[in-house]
Amino acid sequence: MELRQLRYLVAVVEEGGFTRAAARLHLAQPGVSAQIRQLERELGQRLLDRSGGTVTPTEVGEALLPYARAALAAVEGVRQVADEFGGLLRGRVTIGVAAGVAVSAVPVHPFDLAAVLADFHRRHPRIEVTLTEAASERMLSALQSGELDIALVGLAEDEPPAGVSLHVLIDEPLVAAVAADDPLAEASGPVIGVAALNGLPLICLPRGTGTRGVLERACARAGFRPRVVFEAADPRLLAQLAARGLGVAAVPRLAEGVAEGLGLRVLHFEDPQPRARIALAWRTNGPTAPAAGALLNRLRTALAKAP
């Protein structure tokens, strides 16, 4: 078994086919295919399902992938440690930013992700930082599997997933924003129970985001399923939709000023209040690559200095 075979296998799975994997590796497609067939013969197992339009891992291939990635990361770590001691820290770091986080709450927090990344790049120009966006649930799973090194996520649960550590940046209650003439605003005081949302058209963040998960859990505890009629990643858009009388917007309290600026009435929930939380997340045992470890340390230092 050779490391290049594992590298080819991972590339084919991530690209969904031999042609795209070969292009990514700057190799000829027949060579990539031949090396993976040789690996399959050596292991005595079929690792890839080639029957569909997209190449996918078999059950054995799926089970093998974490070990292949770990082996490649270990070799890269050896190279990077040697470079680090030579003053040439380099490599690649992948950061996940949950959908909606960048446009919702983080800009009002004293922790400035973009500024930290820019400073890190100036200090370590040889390190390639890749930023990707997806739902919080997907980000946390990618952290656990090793696909991501670091993530900025919304939290739906009170406790982090197994093997993941957190530094909470924002912990704010959810509020309900409604048009001033909405029946909910006219029939209630400034504080409502979650049960008051039962049957009402709701406007909220997309499924898979931490805030959406918090809302769904709160509604489930109150004995009903939320009736979501509109969803968007930007709380400002949610407030704008509510201002048009299209429903009740469930947004973090950080968006309260935006809501009031649109003439909306902001209603707070009774205790226990559902809360929107955003956190920096990483694998508890730490990134395997020195480059990722260096960036994580820089991020945690910036968080410690933030007021």
Domain boundaries, the chain: 3-83, 87-169+278-305, 172-276
CA dihedral 81, 86, 88, 91 (to 10 degrees): -10
**Ramachandran region of residue 180, left (φ > 0), alpha (ψ -120 to 50) or beta?**
alpha
Closest CA to 181 of 240, 241, 231, 242: 242
Give the pLDDT of residue 305. 67
pTM over 0.95: no
| Residue 17 or residue 158, greater confidence | 17
pLDDT at 103 over 50: no
CA geometry: angle at 288 spanning 291 and 161, to 5°?
A: 115
Q: How does strand 191-192 pair with strand 264-269?
A: parallel
What value does the CA radius of gyration of the chain take, rounded to a whole number of Å?
A: 23
Which residues touch 263 (CB under 8 Å, ≥6 apart)? 179, 180, 243
Q: Number of C-alpha atoms within 13 angstroms, CB side, residue 248?
A: 25
* pLDDT tens readout for residues 17-69: 888 888 888 888 899 899 999 999 999 989 998 887 788 999 999 999 999 99
CATH topology of domain 3-83: Arc Repressor Mutant, subunit A (1.10.10)
The token duo for 163 is 């093997």
* pLDDT tens readout for residues 252-302: 886 667 777 888 888 999 988 899 888 889 988 876 677 888 888 888 888
Same fold? 87-169+278-305, 172-276: yes
CATH topology of domain 172-276: D-Maltodextrin-Binding Protein; domain 2 (3.40.190)
In angstroms, how far is the first alpha carbon of the chain from the final one?
A: 52
Residue 278, beta-bridge partner list: 154, 170
Rounded to 5 degrees, φ, ψ at 129 are -105, 120
pLDDT at 85 over 70: no
pLDDT at 106 over 50: no
The count of residues in the chain is 307
For 87-169+278-305, CATH gives 3.40.190.10
Residue 272 preceded by cis peptide, ω within 30 = yes
